[in-house]
Amino acid sequence: MIVSTLLRQPRHLTPALLGPTTILSRSMADISVEHGRGAWKTYGDITSYQPGKFQIKTYNKISPIGLAKFPSDQYEVKEGDAAQNAHAILLRSHKLQEEEVNLTVRAIARCGAGTNNVPVARMSELGIPVFNTPGANANAVKELVICGMLLGSRKIIDGINHMYSLGEQGLAKERVEKDKAMFGGRELKGKTLAVVGLGHIGAATARDAEQLGMHVVGYDPMLSIENALKLPRSIQLTGGMLEAVKNADYISLNIPYIKGEGGTHGVIGEEVCANLKKGAVVLNFARGELVDSEAMKKHLDQNDGRYVSDFPDDLLWNHPSTILLPHLGASTEEAEDAAASMAAETIRDFLETGTIRNSVNFPATSLPNRPENSIRFTVVTKNVPGMLAHISEKFAASNLNILQQINQSRGNVAYNVVDVDTKGHEVVDFKEVQEKITMLEGVLSSRVIYGVPGTGYAKNVEGDYFV
Ligand SMILES: NC(=O)c1ccc[n+]([C@@H]2O[C@H](COP(=O)([O-])OP(=O)(O)OC[C@H]3O[C@@H](n4cnc5c(N)ncnc54)[C@H](O)[C@@H]3O)[C@@H](O)[C@H]2O)c1
Ligand SMILES: O=C(O)[C@H](O)COP(=O)(O)O
């Protein structure tokens, strides 16, 4: 492997580089660890790397309030390609490509709920945790769902367009009272709303709909206890989607889009459409792909229903019974600030302490603070038997004492956090231990968290050692 001479310079820990909570013995402060960056194919321009800072790469418009959570003395935030050696990626709806995830990237955070724009399964194979921000934008979406119900019930948009056209002709005052008969509607009170997916958005929508005097039916086969406690008392839970929608005047979809077998692609298809009540309004503020456009068109052509969606649709965009919005659900100041802040805090926690929360592919993992005179290793492995024992053996072989340790797994990934005693080790070659552990079969990557931003990461890239 060709490695830049400059970046091969071992970096020495000095008190100035240590975080406020990092306490290392004097001898440990002299231990050098190779934190250079290899010249890998997808690596990019190594000259833009700033030692001693975590680099965050962003896509989309991310709230400055969220980005301010990254202290500028420890982090640099750059947009898209300007960030060549990112340690973490922060994004909203940008469709992330694998090529945009350099070997340096340790984590990805979606400022929002849906992670279908991130290749999550591939990231799991590469040992990269993907995070989201559960609930951070739910209120914003819920408010727009309520707005969608009103738009679908009253001819508000037609009325606004009509006023514009009358205004242009100078006829508004003369014609309004006569013409308004064209724009009659119906009320929400007393009607039935079916909420499909009772998560953060669905539960909040159900609650507010009850307050509006609606009868609420809900369907969620994986309803969490946390969300069940938020549901209105009067909600009627059903055991299936068809049962939920069949008597509903409004149907709100609030489920994730999941591709593939057993997923949610086109869940609103011919069968569901055939079971919709006459005049039913389908609200899709979840993802466009959940609705089979052909089936919906056929349904709208033959029935008196409406489709209100927050997503583009090449077939339905100009259908007279459709109202489409340009993905505005989470576009409020409050939601953008909350989602970006939560994502930034989650990434900081992971980069600085190894903690995992709000991940969609890694197990929730949290260890108490690193004890004094210890170094924290985190190791990402395939979820196969024996890994923990092999890792522990490597520490033992180097005469290193494990002070505390946690091993968690989820799907094909296992995550280990190990705090190792540094006392009594005048010269311990942590670099060597890290390399031995990282190159164990089944290990994907490792980090040594010293408190020096951006350092101590190593990857096992199909048998090659990347540091
Ligand atoms: N329009 C927007 O701007 C916007 C904003 C936020 C979220 N969203 C979309 O809304 C979705 C839901 O967001 P959330 O914050 O409520 O997420 P959430 O994870 O809190 O809730 C999703 C719920 O759906 C349930 N569910 C999953 N599959 C289901 C199925 N097949 N049938 C019924 N229930 C099912 C889950 O058990 C969960 O309770 C997101 O995945 C995202 O795609 C859109
Ligand atoms: O899943 C989400 O959180 C929403 O679709 C919001 O997307 P946005 O952050 O691009 O507005």
Q: Tens of pLDDT along 162-211? A: 999 999 999 999 999 999 999 999 999 999 999 999 999 999 999 999 99
Bridge partner list, 79: 58
What's the confidence (pLDDT) of residue 36?
Answer: 39
Q: How far is the CA of 117 from the centre of ligand 1 (A)?
A: 14
Report the complex ipTM.
0.99
What's the confidence (pLDDT) of residue 371?
Answer: 87
Judge if the beta carbon of residue 311 lies within 6 A of ligand 1: no
Coil, strand or helix at 161: helix
Atom of ligand 1 nearest to the CA of 196: 33
**Exposure of 416 by Cβ count < 10 A (0-12 exposed, 13-18 middle, 19+ buried)?**
buried
Q: Return the best residue to mutate from 147, 196, 229, 255 for the ligand 1 pocket (most ligand atoms within 8 A of CB).
A: 255
Ligand positioned closest to the Cα atom of 287: 1
Q: How far is the CA of 92 from the centre of ligand 1 (A)?
A: 16
DSSP E strand stretches across 203-293: 215-219, 236-237, 250-253, 281-284
Judge if the beta carbon of residue 114 lies within 6 A of ligand 2: yes
What's the confidence (pLDDT) of residue 373?
Answer: 81
What's the confidence (pLDDT) of residue 201?
Answer: 98
| 74 phi and psi angles, rounded to 5 deg | -120, -15
Q: How far is the CA of 201 from the centre of ligand 1 (A)?
A: 7
Give me the torsion for CA of 367, 373, 379, 384, rounded to 10°: -70
Ligand positioned closest to the Cα atom of 360: 1
What's the confidence (pLDDT) of residue 184?
Answer: 97
Position of tokens 């009659």?
184
CB 13 within 8 A of CB 456: no
Q: Return the best residue to mutate from 58, 91, 116, 137 for the ligand 2 pocket (most ligand atoms within 8 A of CB).
A: 137
How far is 372 from 263, CA to CA, in rounded Å? 47
Judge if the beta carbon of residue 115 lies within 6 A of ligand 2: no
| 116 phi and psi angles, rounded to 5 deg | -70, -10
Ligand positioned closest to the Cα atom of 284: 1
> pLDDT for 434-449, tens place per residue?
999 999 999 999 998 8
- Which amino acid, residue 250? Y
Low-confidence stretches of the chain (pLDDT beneath 50): 1-48, 426-427
Judge if the beta carbon of residue 331 lies within 6 A of ligand 2: yes
Coil, strand or helix at 90: strand
What's the confidence (pLDDT) of residue 27?
Answer: 37
Atom of ligand 1 nearest to the CA of 254: 12
Position of tokens 């400059």?
6
* Length of the chain in terms of residues written: 467
